[in-house]
Structure 1
Amino acid sequence: MLVSIDDDKIIAGFTTKFGGVSNGVYESLNLAYHVGDSSQNVRQNRDILASKIGAKNLIFMEQIHSDFVMEYSGLNLPPCDAIFTHLKGVGICVMVADCAAVLLYDKKLGVVAAIHAGRAGVVSKIVSKTIDKMGSNPKNIKAIVGPNIKKNCYEIGDLDLGEFNKFKDNAKFDINGALRAELNTLGVVDYEFSDICNHCNERFYSYRRDKITGRFAGFIMLKG
C-alpha cells in the first residue's frame, strides 16, 4: 500500500496488488467484485484495507466511465465516477487498472473526494466538475494522482478527442498531461502525480496488460 498522506486530519493513498487473499490472475488484493473473482475474497480484501486505514467502513462506486459526481452522506449511491464526503471515518475509494485515481482534499472545508479519471472522465473534465460540486476554492485543494497508464503505453489510435487531441502524440494519449493542464487552469497549486506506470509495473493490476485481472484502489478518508 502506498500512503501519500497520513496526518492528524486525513489518510490517503493507493493499494498495490499485494497483501490480500485472492489467487490466480487476481492475486492478491483485488478490490473489485465485477472482474470474476470470488465475492468472499473481495469482501475479505476490502476488510483488510478498512482495517489498515482504520475506516469504519469503505465506500466504493459503481463506476460507469461517466462525469457523474455524487456526495456520499450515508445513503446508497447511484452509479457515478466521483464521490465526495464530509463524513469522518468513511474511506471513499476509486478502483482502477490503467485509469487515474484522483484524490482531493479541501483543507479549508474539510471535505474529500475520490475520482475515476480515465479517458472518458478526463475529456469530460470530471475533476473540474467534482471541485465545483464540492463548493471548493481550487486554491484550498490538495490533489493526488495515483499510478496509472503513462503516455508511452496508452495507444488509442485515431480516436478523435476534440480539444484534447493536443494531448495525443503519435496516437498515444497523455492522461497525466491533460490532468495537469486542467489542475493548472483551475488554479490548483498543491498537487502531486505518481511517476509509476501501472502498465509497466507489475506491483499493480493493468487491464491493458493482462485483460483478466483485478483492480487496485485510491482511497481517502477524513479521520474521526
Structure 2
Amino acid sequence: MRIRRVVTTRAGGASRAPYDTFNLGDHVGDDPASVAANRTRLATELGLAPGRLAWMEQVHGRTATLVGGAGWTADEPAEATDALVTATPGVAVAALVADCVPVLLGDPEAGVVAAVHAGRVGARVGVLPAALEAMRAAGAQPHRTEALLGPAICGECYEVPAEMAEDVERHLPGSSCRSRSGTAAIDLRSGLWRQLADVGIGKIGVDPRCTVEDSTLFSYRRDGTTGRLAAVTWAEP
C-alpha cells in the first residue's frame, strides 16, 4: 500500500496577518472562517474525500487516539490527544506545529499510519512510543514502519535553561546540545531520531528545515502570535 506524506507552508491561504496565509490551526486566534477555508482547500488539494481528514485537540501529552473505521467521518477534532493513528485507507491524520516536531509514521504493508505532535513536553513524556504502541495494536510492525521527522526548531535556535536541557536529556537521550551562542539547548529531532532507531524503525527521514530560520514556515518562538502548519499522512486505498 502506498503511504502519502505532506507538510504545508505558510503560502496559499485565506488568513490575514499575523496568521498569513495558510494557517491551519483553529486555536490560535485566527478568523474561524479563514481556518475552515484553508482546511477545505488542503483536503481538496490532497484529493481527500469530505470528512476524511482528522485533526486533534493537542495538549502536549502522550495520548494516542485511533480513528477511522466503517462510516467514520472527522466531524470534530479528537479530544485531548497528541497522536492520531488510523488503519483505514483514505483517512488522513494531521499534526499541527509551529516549532514542535511533527512525526509522520507509516507501515505500508499493514496500511497503518500516524501523525504525532512532539513538542518538548510531549517528547519528554513519551508521545512517540505511545503512538508506536497504538500502531502496533492496529497491526503495524516497527521494522516495516517508515518515519519522517518534519520541520521544527533546530538545536542551534532552541536555547533553554541548562536544567531543562538536562531534564529532557534524561527522558529523551540524544536531545541535549548547544545553541548557536554556546548555551544549553535542545534538539528534539535528534532525540526522537534515536528513539525511533532504538525500537527498530526501518526507515527514518528528516526534513532539515528550521521553523525559526525559514520564513516560509510558522514559528511561535520567532513571531509569538502566528499560525500553524500541518503535517499530514494517509494510506491510499
Same fold (TM over 0.5): yes
Which position in structure 2 is the counterpart of 1:39? 32
TM normalised by structure 1 equals 0.92
SS of 1:92's equivalent in the other structure is strand
Aligned residue in 1 for 2:176: 168
Please state whether the residue corresponding to 2:156 is helix, strand or coil: helix
Alignment-derived partner of residue 129 in structure 1? 130
Work out whether residues 11 and 53 of structure 1, in 8 Å CA contact, stay in contact via their aligned partners in 2: no
Local SS of the residue matching 2:40: helix
Unaligned runs of 5+ in 1: 1-7
Deviations 1:83-114 (A, max 9, x none): 11112222211000000100011122111100
1:140 to 144, 165, 180: 144
The equivalent residue for 1:65 is 60
Secondary structure class of the residue paired with 1:37 = coil
What do residues 39-80 of structure 1 show as CA deviations (whole Å, max 9, x unaligned)?
Answer: 000000001100111111311100000000010023763210
1:84 corresponding residue in structure 2: 85
Deviations 1:101-159 (A, max 9, x none): 00011122111100001111211222222111111321010101111000001112132
Task: Name the % identity.
Answer: 33
Equivalence for 1:98: 99
Are the counterparts in 1 of residues 3 and 108 from structure 2 also a CA contact under 8 Å?
A: no
SS at match of 2:95: strand
Alignment of 1:202 onto 2:215: yes
The change in CA–CA distance for 1:134 and 1:163 in structure 2 (over 3 A counts) is closer
**Who is 2:180 aligned against?**
none
Residues of 1 paired with 2:173 and 2:208: CA distance? 22
- State the partner residue of 1:113: 114
Query: Counterparts in 2 of 1:1-16, with a 5 A limit?
Result: 9-16=2-9
Rate the CA distance shift 1:223–1:166 in 2: closer, same or farther, 3 A: closer
> Does the 8 Å contact 2:172/2:192 carry over to 1?
no
Mapped partners of 2:91, 2:110: distance in 1: 16
Tell me which moved more, 199-208 or 88-97: 88-97
* TM-score (norm: length of structure 2): 0.87
Task: Please list, as runs of the form range in 1=range in 2, the aligned pairs for 1:151-162 lying within 5 A after superposition.
Answer: 151-157=155-161, 158-159=163-164, 160-161=167-168, 162=170
Moved more, 100-109 or 8-17: 8-17
- 3-state SS of paired residue (2:146): strand
User: For 1:166 and 1:189, how far apart are their aligned partners in 2?
Assistant: 19
Q: Does 1:189 align with 2:202?
A: yes
Question: Which is further off, 196-205 or 104-113?
Answer: 104-113
Question: Larger strand proportion, structure 1 or 2?
Answer: 1
**Paired AA for residue 146 in structure 2:** K
Larger CA deviation: 173-182 vs 159-168: 159-168
- Aligned residue pair count: 217
Q: Which runs of 5+ in 2 are unaligned?
A: 178-182
Q: Provide the C-alpha distance between the structure 2 equivalents of 1:89 and 1:116, rounded to a whole number of angstroms.
A: 21
* C-alpha distance in 2 between matches for 1:78 and 1:30: 20
